[in-house]
Amino acid sequence: MIKKILISQPKPSSEKSPYFDIAKNYGVELVFRPFIKVEGLTSKEFRQQKISILNYTAIVFTSRHAIDNFFNLANEMRLAIPEDMKYFCVTETIALYIQKYVQYRKRKVFYGNTGKIHDLIPVMVKHKNEKYLVPMSDVNDGSMKEMLDSKKLNHTECVMYRTVSNDFTEEEVKTFDYDMCIFFSPSGISAFKSTFGDSKNDSVKVATFGPATAKAAHDAGLEVSIEAPSKECPSMTGALKNYLEKHNK
């Protein structure tokens, strides 16, 4: 029986999030507590990569973190981003987030439908004359570069932010009483293991999102009860609902 779940992400800003329906319908307590946090590189650190942002005609955004840190760096470096800069985003939600920094114009903002980079690449290929800059985290597997290389696109990857552990307090460790933890990145698994070692391997159910996260959990000796996305459950909320339907009767 699952009664209390720790979700290693910030609390959703919208009250319409499916997580809140799950809490209500299945009588579970949900606690949102990121295991990791993102820090932007300083302009000094970024300059060490010897990349000039204004040499590029298009930016590829895979997350809101990438957008925040791109525009924060540009501001810190006092760069005026050209009006005709194009933006390619993995989802419409991320594309709309650009409005926080620049006026949104459909003719210069493009996005995929599935949230996966594979779905965005055909859109990028239609604009093969662009010079693409891809802001990334310090934790990446190089697959993006391989995919863009395979399509012979003119692109450069750069690190603009890093992922660091959001350490648990002594009180949090002492009062840890969760039945399940939900992870969204290998870094989250690492942070969990560095805090608790093997002490929670058998007592806590684990849910993972994405194949890299699932692999990190298995490698860490954790028993994974939920792996999303899947054909039946493309979202974590769908997978969690499905699991609770079976186990919380």
Domain boundaries, the chain: 4-35+167-247, 39-163
Class of domain 4-35+167-247 (CATH, top level): alpha beta
Reported as type and span, the H/E element at residue 24 is helix 18-26
Which fold would CATH assign to domain 39-163? Answer: Rossmann fold (3.40.50)
Residue 94 DSSP label: H
Residue 16 near residue 189 (C-beta atoms within 8 A) = no
Could you tell me the strand order of the sheet in which 86-89 lies? 36-40, 154-165, 131-137, 58-61, 86-89, 109-111
Over its length of 249 residues, how does the chain's per-residue pLDDT go in tens digits? Answer: 999 999 999 999 888 899 999 999 999 999 999 988 889 999 999 999 999 999 999 999 999 999 999 999 999 999 999 999 999 999 888 999 999 998 877 779 999 887 778 889 999 999 999 999 999 998 777 888 999 999 999 999 999 999 888 888 899 999 999 999 999 989 899 989 988 888 888 889 999 999 989 999 999 999 899 999 988 898 999 999 999 999 887
How many C-alpha atoms does 109 have within 13 Å on its Cβ side? 18
Closest CA to 161 of 135, 140, 189: 135
Model's pTM, two decimal places? 0.68
Closest CA to 9 of 19, 23, 1: 19
Task: Give the sign of the dihedral formed by CA 40, CA 43, CA 49, CA 52.
Answer: positive
Query: Is the fold of 4-35+167-247 the same as that of 39-163?
Result: yes
